[in-house]
Structure 1
Amino acid sequence: MEYAHEMVRPNEDIPFKLFVFEGRDGNYIRQKHWHRSIEIFALFEGELTFSLHDREYPLRPGEFMLVNSNEVHSVFAPRANRTIVLQIPLSTFENYYTDERFIYFSHSSRLQDEEVMRLIGDMYRTYTERACGYELKVQSQFYMLVYLLVTKYRKTEVSPEVVRRGKKLNRLSAVTEYMRKNYSRDLSLENLARTFGYSPAYLSRMFRRYTGSNYKAYLDDIRIEHGVEQMERTDLSLGEIASRCGFPNSKAFARAFKEKYGMLPSQFRRED
């Protein structure tokens, strides 16, 4: 079965991603997907239903769902809701990994609900108000939340099956993380497979099975994402942006961009 892999990038000014759920208007389904980051959905109004490993977890206001790294999940929002989403890089918890280089949190949102919900609400208010020093304040609130996660929600004993399931996607996560860090370099399938000790055919199958995409499309998505950021933040020529993002030339950049967004980079830049 294929699951989409979601690429998670932190906000520009803080070392994690904090945002309002895109399904806030209701009538929304996010199909099965996975990512390397730890994810928390904090529901303040409305209702949400999560599916993890084919088990459903309904949420009511005042509850949250914690999704572990590489955990395949989907989200259903039948009606309008107010939900804050926090995505935390897995490396935040590196000092708390088990011997298997693994960390796992309970899905139960009833251990410290009020404190976690309060912290996430405070973080979002601090971040959106953007008063002087907001970056420092929101990070202090964030680390208090991380403290609660590792002391109240972390499970030190995890079944071998859960570890094995996580490691299957950990292998691909290591590859995709390497791609995100080295997107501007020559990342042919052959070179990447050699770096990780796989055959090109095996790595290609891994991408198709677990990301819902082929290797080339996945790499292009990473490069286009960086291209969009540079178009928005710099006055560099499209040729220079294409080169910096790892495309062989501006034509290849334009072709991949149009396939993803239905317009040329030049049109995007005019409309921005």
Structure 2
Amino acid sequence: MKAFYETRQYESHVKIWHRVYRNLAFVPHWHTEIEMIYIREGALEVTLESESVRGTKGDLIIVESGEIHYSNIGKNTNVLEFIIFDPAIINSIFKGFNLKTALLTKNTLKKSQLTKHLQALLYTINYEVKYKNKFYDEIIEAELRKFCLLLKRNAAYLINDDQPKCQRDRIDEFQSFLDYLERNYSEDISLSDGANYLNLNTSYFSTLFKDYTGSTFVRYLNAIRIEKALEYIQKKEQSIIEIAYDCGYNNIRSFNRVFKEFTGIAPSQFMKVANQDEYIYKIRKSAHIEHTEEFENKTILNLNGSV
């Protein structure tokens, strides 16, 4: 299955992402985060690597780290609440959930005595995000960790520790390379270097990279470099030429060409843009197909957090 690698920008050092959408559908993708989808209204059909599930109001769908998943576009009328978070939040205690099924029905949540804890989690996130009082991020993280621990304990009968759902070795290995790109974007990294990193032939690596990220290797690396360039320009500590070289470009002409390809403007014009963060947020998306933030049927809702 072809799917793209989804990257995410967080609003704070606590890597928890929360949104509520009406009538949202999403194309095949994967990410390193764990994803929880609570169905507030209607229904949602989701296909994962290992199964297809259909949830209705009150159900919770959990997508493990690295699992390719998508919904049946155009066939869902719903209100969905998403909680997507860095697995590191729970990895110090356990690695993933390894659930036998991604779908936790309303009855399963009740049987496992998780309904009130899920309600507390959703309420806490909505309340704390709305008011942003001191330590609000840490409070959300603590409530999320508590729910995950209770899920692991109370729903032990749904957990299959002997056979994890995802092909972890494959995902971990590829993620390791993507992390390598994030750290070493300024170096001269070729397609062959990437293939050697994963011990693959160049042709297969090129195909695998496109399948996993929805982008060619060169375009993805350029996206990282331009993101970094935008951040450097915002700091106003270096000249454009210095930034170009620090981001892996050997000449200013190549840098200007790639910069304009991703942003639509020249670096000198970007320095005068009022809302520069909008450009940074969209760069990585332009390296692959658009996803949730750009869906035409998207409507973001504000809810009070009640289940």
TM-score, normalising length from structure 2?
0.70
The alignment partner of 2:180 has SS state of: helix
Query: Does the alignment pair 1:194 with 2:196?
Result: yes
Q: CA deviation at 1:117?
A: 4.0
Contact 2:25 2:76 in 1 (8 A): no
Query: Does the alignment pair 1:52 with 2:56?
Result: no
* Equivalent of residue 30 in structure 1, options 18, 26, 33: 26
Match of 1:104 in 2: 98
What's the CA shift string for 1:191-214, capped at 9, x where partnerless?
343344344344223212322221
Contact 1:3 1:33 in 2 (8 A): yes
What's the CA shift string for 1:75-133, capped at 9, x where partnerless?
347677543322222333434557xxx76234132332442243033123212311123
Quickly say closer, same or farther: Cα 1:243–1:88, change in 2 above 3 A: farther
User: Identical aligned pairs, as a percentage?
Assistant: 24
Alignment of 1:1-272 (within 5 A): 1-9=1-9, 11-21=10-20, 24-26=21-23, 28-53=24-49, 55-75=51-71, 76=73, 82-95=79-92, 104-105=98-99, 106-110=101-105, 111=109, 112-152=114-154, 155-159=159-163, 162=165, 165-231=167-233, 233-236=234-237, 237-271=239-273, 272=275
Q: Give the Cα separation in 2 of the matches to 1:250 and 1:145.
A: 51
Contact 2:14 2:137 in 1 (8 A): no
Instruction: Specify the structure having the higher radius of gyration (Cα).
Output: 2
Q: CA deviation at 1:68?
A: 0.8
Q: Give the Cα separation in 1 of the matches to 2:155 and 2:185.
A: 35
The alignment partner of 1:31 has SS state of: coil
Q: CA deviation at 1:178?
A: 2.1
Q: CA deviation at 1:221?
A: 2.2
| Relative contact order higher in (CA < 8 Å, ≥ 6 apart) | 2
Q: Give the Cα separation in 2 of the matches to 1:77 and 1:41.
A: 18
Quickly say closer, same or farther: Cα 1:181–1:39, change in 2 above 3 A: farther
Q: Give the Cα separation in 2 of the matches to 1:152 and 1:68.
A: 18
The alignment partner of 2:186 has SS state of: coil
Backbone CA RMSD of aligned residues = 3.2
Q: Give the Cα separation in 2 of the matches to 1:246 and 1:16.
A: 28
What's the CA shift string for 1:182-236, capped at 9, x where partnerless?
33333333334334434434422321232222111121222333334445x5234
Quickly say closer, same or farther: Cα 1:197–1:52, change in 2 above 3 A: closer
Higher mean Cα deviation, 236-245 or 218-227?
Answer: 236-245
Higher mean Cα deviation, 79-88 or 205-214?
Answer: 79-88
Higher mean Cα deviation, 32-41 or 140-149?
Answer: 140-149
TM-score, normalising length from structure 1?
0.77
Q: CA deviation at 1:30?
A: 1.8
Q: Give the Cα separation in 1 of the matches to 2:265 and 2:25.
A: 26
The alignment partner of 2:140 has SS state of: helix
Quickly say closer, same or farther: Cα 1:270–1:94, change in 2 above 3 A: same
Contact 1:18 1:124 in 2 (8 A): no
Give the number of equivalent residue pairs. Answer: 262
Q: CA deviation at 1:7?
A: 1.9
